[in-house]
């Protein structure tokens, strides 16, 4: 052992950090030894060895070399492979010298692959840079970015998600306005026969017409009856078809956008919350934004991290409490939840009955004074809004007794309340379609459009009055008289996200339902939503306080869009039900479909097409096309399911790799600690495995 090289392992400190007494051979031996002892290498090597032995045994049986020879040859042929990373150099987790070396290797590779391939790669990199800059520019142009950041820091991500959802609805209605302008307003302005007499005030017109939708407003382009065929009267290019095409484009584009956001949000939630658990160390050590330069921004970020930790600890506390429940406690809890759900069903039935009677009263003619007549005309919106304000509060109290987590309580309240809102609106529309009066001089579509207009106006007035006539005076009273008995009974005001989101889903559903009968309703919706944004901003920043218990916004955001999807389905079904009921009754019709129906207009257009196109359309609408369409859907769904399974397997493998990497880190830290605690012996005995591989100096 005298000829053996001495290996000196010392900790590098201060001036010694740039020097080392280790030779290259010593480092190679020690790295080889540590590499062989890593848990990940041992696990992979055991699997690989068993596979290689099985493979070599099969080859030996078929007349090949012996298993040990084959294994040795394959082990010698297995060596390190230099993989050129395709990631940008700034994303590589290596030092600057390594990045310079990687850049030189890439240049050498480009010089070897030829001009065309190098040009294609450079163009691909340039396109990616351009798209990245465009995304950054688009993100910087988003409105209310500073406001949302401020709200997130004070109230958490949940309150911010409400305002992001509101901004998304504004964009959606702006798209609807563009479609209406192109399909309906533009052709009507160029080819319409209507004069400008609707701009003049008549003898019966008044300012109240803007509240009830009659008089001057009923003759304006706001409602369905204003639009006529005009001079644009071809078989397949006329006002009725353009009107229907605009409404269908609004429905389909809304469906595509809402479904896409719902699916993307669900996938994000499933990936992060269901499959990957974010621990406290990640939140503490990786949650800070190092680009912050202002003290106020730093305070907002600290508040956001603190609120996120509150939510995490609250969920862990509830899960621990849930795991400690006994069988008797679970049975009592299930019985209590059953009784509370029965109470919810009875409340919903009573609300629907009240809406039915108020609809019958509001649609009847009355000769009362104008104030009573105005109240009777708004009786249905008042009833629906009152029910939607009172019952969700009761649902919120009921969910607090069901012993769910905070996120589940919010979602349960959302589901019950959205069922209440959509069902009440659906019942109101059904009775409205059936009991629309034919005695009025106004056409049927205008009557339905006026009711939708009233719902929008009353919802906006409710939001305004609730903020400035209830919440703001309540906040002032709390600041001036904090010891008042009424103030202590009311408590501090919170921004209740479920009820605010329900209002948005409800009003957007009204916009979708009424766009057929009131084409300018999306424009009215854009203005009202913009004002609602600033009203709610004032309410949350001036009148509300942060919740002591936070909830996660990702799953709730998916639920927001899913409820919006339900409202869109209801809006698409409403005109179909209306067409079916209108065919059975002799009602006064007007507008572009006067004395016609949708079927007659489309049938006239189809008959004017060439025979080949008619045959194609008949085949697409026949039952013979259903089989290949079904097969195509099965193939597409099968491919998506297979891709999903492959992705899940890849996720599991990556999770295993992360676990093995953490095991390797713990092993290396333990080895480093062992070396530091050990005796400072300059002569380190080399392992037996290394001695067998390299003979001692002086040996024959």
Instruction: Kindly report, residue by residue over 328-370, the tens digit of the pLDDT.
Output: 888 988 898 899 989 988 998 888 888 888 887 777 766 666 7
Using alpha carbons, select from 203, 192, 249 the residue that is nearest to residue 226: 192
CA distance linking residue 637 with residue 643, whole number of Å: 10
The most confident of 441-450, 631-640, 656-665, by mean pLDDT? 631-640
Q: Residue 62: its pLDDT value, please?
A: 56
pTM, 2 dp = 0.72
DSSP state of 545: B
User: What is the pLDDT at residue 271?
Assistant: 58
* CA 413/CA 393 separation, integer angstroms: 9
pLDDT at 422: 85
| Tokens (6 digits) for 47 | 């699997």
Confidence of residue 631 (pLDDT cuts 50, 70, 90): very high
Which residues are paired to 233 by β-bridges? 238
pLDDT score recorded for residue 1? 42
pLDDT for 529? 94
Lookup: tokens for 447 = 């009557």
Taking residues 164-177, report their average pLDDT: 92
From the DSSP assignment, how many helices (H) and strands (E) are in the chain? 26, 0
Average pLDDT score over residue span 120-147 = 78
Residue 524 pLDDT: 93
Of the chain, the percentage scoring pLDDT greater than 90 comes to 10
Closest among 193, 384, 161 to 268, alpha carbons compared: 161
Percentage of the chain lying above the pLDDT 70 cut: 73
Q: What is the DSSP letter of 238?
A: B
Task: Phi first, then psi: give them for residue 202, nearest 5 degrees.
Answer: -90, -175
Q: Per-residue pLDDT for 247 more than 80? A: yes
Residue 307, token pair as written in the block: 């609120």
In the predicted model, what is the mean pLDDT of residues 61-76?
Answer: 47
pLDDT value for 56: 57
Give the Cα-Cα-Cα angle 478, 479, 482 (nearest 5 degrees).
55
Would you say 410 and 497 are in contact if contact means Cβ atoms under 8 Å apart? yes
Strand partners, 238: 233
State the CB neighbour count (10 A cutoff) for residue 459.
Answer: 20
Residue of 164, 60, 207 lying closest to 504 (CA atoms) = 164
On the 0-12 / 13-18 / 19+ scale of CB atoms within 10 A, 530 is middle
Lowest-confidence region among 196-210, 454-468, 556-570: 196-210
For residues 514 and 377, give the distance between their C-alpha atoms in angstroms, rounded to a whole number. 18
**Per-residue pLDDT tens over the stretch 300-313:** 677 777 877 777 78
Q: Report the distance separating Cα 540 and Cα 537, nearest Å.
A: 5
| Closest-CA residue to 306 (of 286, 329, 325, 283) | 283
Beta bridge partners of 494: 545
Please determine, for residue 697, whether its predicted confidence score (pLDDT) is greater than 60.
no
| Mean residue pLDDT across the chain | 76
99 band by pLDDT with thresholds 50, 70 and 90: confident
Residues across the chain? 700
Q: Nearest to residue 410, comparing CAs of 432, 425, 395, 422? A: 395
CA distance 678 to 658: 30
Asked whether the beta carbons of 609 and 236 are under 8 A apart, the reply is yes
Task: Please give the DSSP secondary-structure letter assigned to residue 13.
Answer: -
Alpha helix (H) residue ranges in 88-114: 96-113
Greater model confidence, 195 or 698: 195
Q: Where are the alpha helices (DSSP H) in 585-687?
A: 598-607, 611-620, 626-677
Lowest pLDDT segment from 141-145, 511-515, 610-614: 141-145
> Which helix (H) or strand (E) covers residue 573, if one does?
helix 553-584
Computed on alpha carbons and rounded to an integer, the radius of gyration of the chain in Å comes to 36
End-to-end CA gap in the chain: 14
Examine the pLDDT at 516 and tell me if it is beyond 80: yes
At residue 413 the predicted structure's pLDDT band, cuts being 50, 70 and 90, is confident
pLDDT at 527: 94
Mean pLDDT on 500-508: 88
Residue 552 near residue 273, CB atoms below 8 Å: yes
Instruction: Tell me how far apart the alpha carbons of residues 138 and 142 are, in angstroms, rounded to a whole number.
Output: 7
- CA-CA distance, 505 to 513, in Å (whole number)? 12
The answer to whether 359 touches 380, Cβ cutoff 8 Å, is yes
Among 37-51, 119-133, 252-266, 631-645, name the one with the lowest average pLDDT: 37-51
Is residue 164 over pLDDT 80? yes
Mean pLDDT of 205-225: 79
Q: How many CB atoms lie within 10 A of CB 386?
A: 14
Which residues contact residue 350 at a Cβ distance below 8 angstroms, ignoring those fewer than 6 apart?
none
Quick check: 83 pLDDT over 80?
no
Q: Residue 174: how many CB atoms within 10 A of its CB?
A: 14
Q: Would the pLDDT of 131 be above 60?
A: yes
């Amino acid at each position: 052992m005298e000829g053996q090289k001495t290996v000196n392992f010392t900790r590098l400190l201060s001036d010694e950090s740039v020097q080392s007494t280790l030779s290259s051979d010593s480092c190679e031996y020690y790295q080889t030894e540590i590499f062989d002892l890593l848990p990940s290498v041992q696990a992979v090597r055991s699997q690989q060895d068993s596979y290689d032995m099985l493979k070599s045994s099969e080859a030996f049986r078929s007349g090949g070399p012996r298993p040990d020879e084959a294994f040795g040859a394959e082990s010698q042929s297995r060596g390190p492979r230099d993989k050129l990373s395709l990631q940008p150099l700034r994303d590589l987790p290596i030092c600057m010298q390594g990045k310079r070396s990687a850049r030189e290797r890439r240049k050498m590779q480009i010089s070897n692959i030829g001009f065309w391939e190098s040009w294609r790669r450079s163009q691909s990199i340039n396109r990616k840079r351009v798209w990245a800059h465009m995304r950054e520019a688009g993100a910087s142009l988003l409105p209310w970015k500073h406001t949302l950041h401020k709200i997130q820091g004070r109230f958490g991500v949940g309150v911010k998600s409400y305002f992001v959802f509101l901004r998304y609805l504004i964009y959606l209605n702006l798209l609807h306005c563009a479609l209406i302008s192109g399909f309906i307003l533009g052709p009507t302005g160029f080819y319409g026969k209507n004069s400008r007499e609707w701009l003049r005030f008549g003898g019966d017109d008044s300012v109240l017409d803007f509240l009830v939708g009659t008089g001057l407003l009923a003759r304006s382009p706001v409602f369905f009856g204003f639009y006529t065929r005009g001079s644009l009267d071809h078989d397949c290019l006329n006002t009725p078809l353009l009107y229907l095409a605009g409404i269908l484009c609004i429905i389909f584009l809304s469906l595509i956008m809402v479904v896409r956001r719902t699916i993307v949000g669900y996938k994000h939630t499933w990936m992060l919350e269901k499959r990957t658990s974010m621990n406290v160390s990640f939140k503490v050590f990786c949650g800070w934004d190092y680009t912050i330069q202002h003290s106020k921004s730093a305070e907002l970020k600290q508040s956001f991290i603190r609120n996120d930790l509150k939510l995490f600890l609250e969920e862990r506390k509830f899960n621990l409490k849930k795991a400690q429940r006994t069988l008797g406690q679970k049975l009592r809890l299930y019985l209590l939840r059953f009784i509370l759900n029965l109470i919810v069903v009875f409340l919903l039935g009573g609300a629907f009955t009240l809406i039915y009677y108020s609809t019958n009263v509001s649609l009847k003619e009355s000769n009362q004074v104008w104030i009573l007549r105005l109240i009777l005309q708004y009786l249905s919106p008042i009833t629906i809004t009152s029910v939607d304000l009172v019952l969700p509060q009761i649902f919120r109290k009921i969910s607090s007794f069901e012993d769910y987590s905070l996120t589940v309580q919010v979602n349960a309240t959302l589901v019950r309340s959205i069922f209440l809102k959509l069902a009440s609106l659906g019942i109101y529309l059904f009775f409205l379609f059936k009991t629309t009066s034919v005695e009025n001089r106004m056409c049927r579509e205008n009557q339905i459009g006026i009711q939708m207009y009233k719902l929008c106006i009353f919802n906006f007035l409710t939001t305004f009055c609730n903020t400035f006539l209830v919440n703001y005076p309540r906040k002032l009273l709390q600041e001036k008289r904090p010891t008042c008995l009424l103030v202590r009974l009311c408590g501090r005001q919170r921004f209740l996200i479920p009820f605010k989101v329900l209002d948005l889903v409800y009003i957007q559903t009204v916009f979708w339902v009424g766009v057929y009968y009131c084409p300018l309703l999306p424009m009215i919706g854009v203005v009202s939503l913009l004002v609602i944004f600033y009203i709610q901003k004032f309410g949350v920043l001036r009148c509300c306080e942060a919740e002591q218990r936070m909830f996660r916004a990702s799953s709730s955001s998916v639920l927001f869009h899913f409820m919006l999807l339900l409202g869109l389905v209801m809006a698409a079904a409403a005109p179909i039900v209306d067409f079916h009921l209108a065919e059975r009754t002799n009602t006064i019709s007007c507008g572009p479909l006067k004395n016609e129906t949708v079927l007659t207009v489309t049938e006239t257009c189809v008959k004017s097409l060439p025979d080949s196109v008619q045959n194609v359309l008949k085949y697409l609408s026949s039952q013979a096309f259903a089989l290949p369409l079904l097969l195509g859907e099965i193939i597409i769904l099968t491919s998506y399911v297979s891709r999903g399974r492959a992705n899940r397997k890849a996720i599991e493998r990556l999770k295993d790799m992360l676990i093995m990497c953490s095991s390797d880190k713990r092993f290396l830290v333990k080895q480093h600690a062992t070396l530091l605690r050990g005796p400072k012996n300059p002569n380190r005995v080399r392992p037996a495995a290394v001695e067998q591989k390299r003979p001692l100096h002086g040996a024959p």
